[in-house]
Amino acid sequence: MEALTITGVTKGFGGPRPALSDLSFTLAAGQFGVLLGPSGAGKSTALNVVAGLLTPDAGEVTLGGSSLHDVPPERRDIAMVFENYALYPHYSVRKNLEFPLKAPVRRGKLTKAQIAERVRQVADTLRIGHLLDRLPSQLSGGQRQRVSLGRALVRRPRLLLLDEPITHLDAKLRHEMRTELKRIQRELGVTTLYATPDQGDALALADVVVVLDSGRAHQIGSAQDVYERPADVTVARFLGDPRMNLLQGTGSAGSVSVLGTTVELPGAPDGPVLLGVRPNHVRFSAEPVDGGAAGRVLLAQTLGYVDVVYVDVAGTTVRAIVPAGTGAHPGTPAWVRVPARHVYLFEPDTGQALRQMEVA
């Protein structure tokens, strides 16, 4: 259980912009941090810098209060689960799990019996006890993932890094593993940093979310923070499924005109603004409503428990979530209303948030 601090880390690979620029954040001991961002955002680069597999151009990583600068990866006592699992294909599952315990840096610290006991424990926790004598090539994707996690956990590392560990599993297994990861992390209390492009992972797992895009941290905060109070348009766009509606509006005298309607927003700036509203807050109606913008249903998708309706309002598509079975058919007229209390405002050029929605 150790705190991880990353200060001003920058890393470039000779491209036009660095893969990671000036990244700083802190994870308290035992916290679960998630690096969230699309592919190419710099998540893996960040993890590799922390692991010591890459040397940052600038900045510092400290673990448990001491700098990791000049500490080679094998002496950092950081464990990592790789996207492709990276099991040792020529070793059985048992040998894969024993491998970190028998490393030169830990020689003589554990007896043979202790090693066997540790392997048994971690195999029990991850329910892979029956697989110990198999080779990695004889395992399914989910099983490999567990072995890979087991290999990382068996030595009780100071820090656990997970690089998109469940991206390649099927949806059902992914949900199971997500729950299990959280449980195991809580049980062991190991400080964890998890990289994923999946906002669902981030919201479900994280104590701290770092939203990365193009190598830059756009926001750092709790899952609730980044979801309810996005710092800018990038974060707002990335979190939430279906994603937030971002509509061009014009502010004047404490109100914003958008979609041909006017939304009363005291304190709204004059001039063009980006107005954000999540699909679940958009009021949809098949009948004309007061203050509603008239449009036409483009498409309706059902998620089972709710439907997502795409409404075309004078060339702008608005996504709205409606109760399942509302029966919006493509081509039928529809009205959408943007409730003032659920509106975000963003500066159109910089994308900075100007106004957050009111949280009840």
Question: For binding to other proteins (CB under 8 A), which residues are involved?
Answer: 48, 51-53, 72-80, 82-90, 99-100, 103-106, 135-139, 144, 151, 155
Nearer to other proteins, 27 or 203 (CB): 27
Q: Which is nearer to other proteins, 125 or 143 (CB)?
A: 143
Residue 23: how many other CB atoms lie within 10 Å:
26
Tell me how many degrees the CA angle 292-350-19 measures, rounded to the nearest 5: 125
Cα 175 to Cα 48, 171, 199, 200, distances in angstroms: 26, 6, 13, 9
Query: Which two tokens mark 143?
Result: 């099983």
- Which segments of 144-190 are extended strands (E)? 159-163
What are the tokens at 67?
């700098």
Residue 151 beta carbon to other proteins: minimum distance, rounded to whole angstroms? 7
Residues 6+ apart with CB under 8 A from 84: none
Q: Minimum Å distance from CB 77 to other proteins?
A: 8
d(CA 134, CA 120): 15
What is the spatial distance between Cα 48 and Cα 193, in angstroms, rounded to a whole number?
A: 11
Least separation in angstroms between residue 103's CB and other proteins is: 3
Closest distance of CB 90 from other proteins, Å: 5
Query: Which of 115, 139 has the CB closer to other proteins?
Result: 139
Smaller CB distance to other proteins: residue 144 or 355? Answer: 144
Residue 10 to residue 58: CA distance in whole angstroms: 5
Smallest distance from other proteins to CB 336, Å = 46
Dihedral sign (CA 199, 201, 205, 206) = negative
What are the CB-based long-range contacts (under 8 Å, 24+) for 180-183? 181/149, 181/205, 182/32
Farthest-apart Cα atoms in the chain, separation: 78
The token pair at 242 is 């279906």
> Could you tell me the smallest distance in angstroms from the CB atom of residue 76 to other proteins?
7
Q: Are 137 and 56 in contact (CB under 8 A)?
A: no
Closer by beta carbon to other proteins, 170 or else 264: 170
Give the nearer residue to other proteins in terms of CB position, either 87 or 322.
87
Q: How far is the CB of 44 from other proteins (least distance, A)?
A: 10
CB of 123 to other proteins, least distance (A): 17
Identity of the residue, 163 or 307, whose beta carbon is nearer to other proteins in the bound complex: 163
Give the nearer residue to other proteins in terms of CB position, either 87 or 274: 87
